């Protein structure tokens, strides 16, 4: 018997393999099955084959860029529940996601207590920027300052600062969890002065601006830093409950329904600052 000729399907498979189109190769059988059964016309079938390639390529690009940017997670706006956080203005967040603030070299500061979604929203902006092909760099303030201190000790500070001015979007997370040393604060101030009006920075903090003097160990430097930051800046102030505690609250409500019945009738508890607690 003569060797059988490769089928049309096999020839297309070989072409897709030759062109290094694994996404299309993976989707091919399903698309051909639909085409054979008449559920899919030729035009849409071709579109789907090419679309499968583009989808996989984009996902891989995003993953590579995510690793290069050191984003700890791929948070998106689609996963953000506005109804849980009424103090967040949807129009403001959506307008930020057009990324025109990066074009204008403006900054974004997310302020609010722990768990209210500051990092989530900051990361979703970073993901949008990475998807749009921007160079992004994520760091916590503590990591950033450590890396600047190390560079200074090795006589490479100028080089390190140049590298950190380069990304068109830098995300400095967790300002306020740990107080900085004087040198650390000076180094951060230097970096932010370099990036001022050159590239955008997103910052998140659980401390209001009035408490940054304590975080940076120096009121004058904190004031100078805030002055540069807020000159071209979008401030997102989130007042609300921790999303991390959401499920605990739901659990508590289910177990103790009477505690939650007349919540709205009770006077609001006055906020107690950490300092007041410490002073007790
Ligand atoms: P913060 O940085 O303000 O301390 P995060 O952004 O880390 O808080 O939020 C804590 C967790 O809760 C994260 O997993 C985040 O994705 C999730 N989260 C916070 N707020 C929301 C929200 N409104 N909708 C959906 N998920 C949220
Ligand atoms: Mg956070």
Please report, for the domain that includes residue 147, its CATH number.
Answer: 3.40.50.300
Cα(163) to ligand 1 centroid in Å equals 30
- Ligand 1 near 195 CB (within 6 A): no
Buried b (16+ CB within 10 A) or exposed e, 135-160: ebbbbbbeebbeebbebbeeeebeeb
**pLDDT the model gives residue 157:** 97
- Ligand 1 near 119 CB (within 6 A): yes
What's the total number of domains in the chain?
2
Cα(237) to ligand 1 centroid in Å equals 14
Q: Is residue 2 part of a domain?
A: no
Q: What is the pLDDT of residues 223-247, one digit of tens each?
A: 999 999 998 999 999 998 898 877 7
Contact between 71 and 130 under an 8 Å Cβ cutoff? The reply is: yes
Q: What is the pLDDT of residues 171-195, one digit of tens each?
A: 999 999 988 999 999 999 999 999 9
- Cα angle 141, 110, 92; round to 5: 145
Q: Is residue 140 part of a domain?
A: yes
**pLDDT the model gives residue 258:** 64
Residues 95 and 232 in one domain: yes
**pLDDT the model gives residue 114:** 94
Give percent of the chain with pLDDT exceeding 90. Answer: 77
Residues 121 and 210 in one domain: yes
Owning domain of residue 205: 77-237
Residues 141 and 60 in one domain: no
**pLDDT the model gives residue 241:** 87
Task: Give the residue, by CA position, lying nearest to ligand 1 atom 26.
Answer: 80
Q: Is residue 251 part of a domain?
A: no
């Amino acid at each position: 018997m003569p060797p059988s000729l490769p089928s049309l399907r096999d020839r297309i498979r070989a072409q897709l393999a030759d062109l290094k189109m694994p996404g299309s190769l993976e989707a091919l059988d399903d698309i051909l099955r639909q085409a054979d059964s008449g559920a899919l016309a030729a035009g849409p079938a071709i579109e789907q084959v090419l679309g499968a390639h583009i989808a996989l390529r984009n996902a891989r690009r995003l993953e590579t860029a995510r690793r290069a940017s050191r984003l700890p997670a791929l948070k998106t706006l689609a996963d953000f529940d506005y109804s849980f956080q009424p103090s967040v203005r949807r129009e403001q967040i959506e307008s930020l996601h057009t990324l025109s603030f990066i074009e204008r070299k403006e900054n974004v500061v997310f302020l609010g207590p722990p768990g209210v979604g500051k990092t989530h929203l900051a990361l979703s902006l970073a993901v949008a920027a990475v998807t749009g092909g921007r160079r992004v760099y994520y760091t916590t303030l503590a990591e950033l300052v450590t890396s600047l201190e190390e560079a200074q000790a090795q006589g490479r500070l100028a080089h390190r600062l140049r590298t950190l001015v380069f990304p068109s979007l830098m995300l400095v997370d967790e300002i306020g969890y740990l107080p900085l040393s004087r040198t650390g604060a000076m180094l951060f101030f230097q970096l932010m002065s370099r990036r001022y009006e050159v590239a955008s920075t997103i910052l998140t903090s659980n401390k209001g601006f009035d408490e940054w003097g304590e975080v940076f160990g120096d009121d004058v430097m904190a004031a100078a830093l805030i002055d540069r930051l807020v000159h071209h800046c979008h401030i997102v102030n989130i007042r609300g409950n921790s999303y991390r505690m959401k499920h605990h609250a739901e659990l508590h409500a289910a177990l103790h329904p009477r505690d939650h019945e007349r919540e709205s009738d009770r006077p609001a508890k006055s906020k107690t600052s950490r300092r007041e607690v410490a002073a007790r």
